[in-house]
Amino acid sequence: MTLDDIKKVVVIGAGTMGQGIAQVSAMAGYSVLLYDLNEEALQNAVKRIEGNLDKGIARGKVSQLQKQESLDNISTTLDRNNLVGDIIVEAILEKLDIKQSLFAHLESINNDTTILASNTSSIPITRIAASLKRPERFVGMHFFNPAHIMKLVEVISGVATDEKVANMVYDLALKLGKQPVMASDAPGFIVNRVARHFYVEGLKVLEENVATLDGIDRLIESSGFKMGPFRLMDLIGVDSNFLVTKSMFEAFHYDSKFRPSRIQEQKVDAGHTGRKSGRGFYAYD
């Protein structure tokens, strides 16, 4: 299979990342099938994609025709037996067993040329692919939030990933208007390994009562960052961010510098998961 043979993109998970991946794929002219377990999540994802396109129109970056063509390229499904495509990008919960079970099913219903990709931000690609019959077709394709705006995509090769597959995903990312980089299958890959301490150290400063969370955010933002760690965690999802930190902590054999924060864990336990729940480190209307 070549890049030109990729016509249909299947996106699994209609959350923040999934809807963004679906949007950029549809805008690039691909037929997109978006899957989730929840019908309401699918409906909300399509509404948010439409809202993003309307914002693009208001800024003069998207035409009315492009909006309509993009929406026409997207279909949704609740049936995981319909998840057949040329490339399948998973963007679900950061849980190894759930991902492995999903990809085993996907492999069983797709042909030998289908590329299986994970948007995981921290779980080793080699570990996810370990139980697959064709691990050479498995690759990491890590987008960044918000996926329809952020340019970077990490393309991660596991131990068994075919170099041709990785190169094809790299070229696909370029076609989606992204700026891909190749990465090896190391804990956190590139960005999350470097950025993890942006969150962890911010939480430690808060734990030690050195400053308020608003004070920490304002200090970081005045230094040139668009968002401080707490505002960014609320945007990404406090729960998602916490799971990534836990995964990194385990991957680095419980190195204390990656230790998850009890404050963040309490937020997750309380259901304060950020903007999506209306409350995280900050409250939202």
Query: 200-257: per-residue pLDDT in tens?
Result: 999 999 999 999 999 999 999 999 999 999 999 999 899 989 988 998 899 899 999 9
Q: Coil, strand, or helix at residue 25?
A: helix
Q: How many CB atoms lie within 10 A of CB 181?
A: 16
DSSP-derived secondary structure letter, 211: S
- Whether residue 246 lies inside any domain: the answer is yes
Identify the domain boundary among 115, 150, 184: 184
210 & 175 share domain: no
Q: 207 and 101 share a domain? A: no
Give pLDDT, residue 236. 86
**How many angstroms separate the first and last alpha carbons of the chain?**
48
Based on the domain organization, do 161 and 51 belong to the same domain? yes
- The pLDDT assigned to 251 comes to 87
Cα distance between residue 123 and residue 186, in whole Å: 9
The domain of 252 spans 192-275
- pLDDT (average), residues 125-153: 95
Q: What is the mean pLDDT of the chain?
A: 95
DSSP H or E segment with residue 181 = strand 179-184
CB 241 within 8 A of CB 264: yes
Confidence category of residue 122, pLDDT binned at 50, 70, 90: confident
The CATH number that applies at residue 112 is 3.40.50.720
Query: Domain ends where: 166, 184, 202?
Result: 184
Is the torsion defined by CA of 249, 251, 257, 258 positive or negative?
Answer: negative
Tell me which residue of 201, 193, 225, 213 sits closest to 267, measured CA to CA. 213
Whether residue 26 is predicted with pLDDT greater than 90 in this model: the reply is: yes
Q: Which of 192, 240, 241, 247 is catalytic?
A: 192
Could you say which of 52, 148, 154, 157 is catalytic?
154
* Co-location of 234 and 162 in the same domain: no
Number of domains into which the chain is organized: 2
For tokens 């890959």, the residue is 189
Question: Which pair of structure tokens corresponds to residue 135?
Answer: 């691990």
pTM: 0.86
What was the pLDDT predicted at 139?
A: 98
Query: What is the average per-residue pLDDT within 100-127?
Result: 96
Could you tell me if residue 235 is inside a domain? Answer: yes
Q: With the C-alpha atoms ordered 92, 99, 168, 142, is the resulting torsion angle positive or negative? A: positive
Q: Which contiguous run of DSSP H or E holds residue 145?
A: none
Concerning whether 154 is annotated as a catalytic residue, the answer is: yes
pLDDT value, residue 188: 87
Catalytic residue among 119, 121, 157, 247: 121
Clarify whether 192 is annotated catalytic: yes
Respond yes or no: is residue 75 known to be catalytic.
no
For residue 206, what is the domain's CATH number? 1.10.1040.50
| pLDDT: which is higher, 74 or 244 | 74
Select which of 73, 110, 122, 142 is catalytic: 142
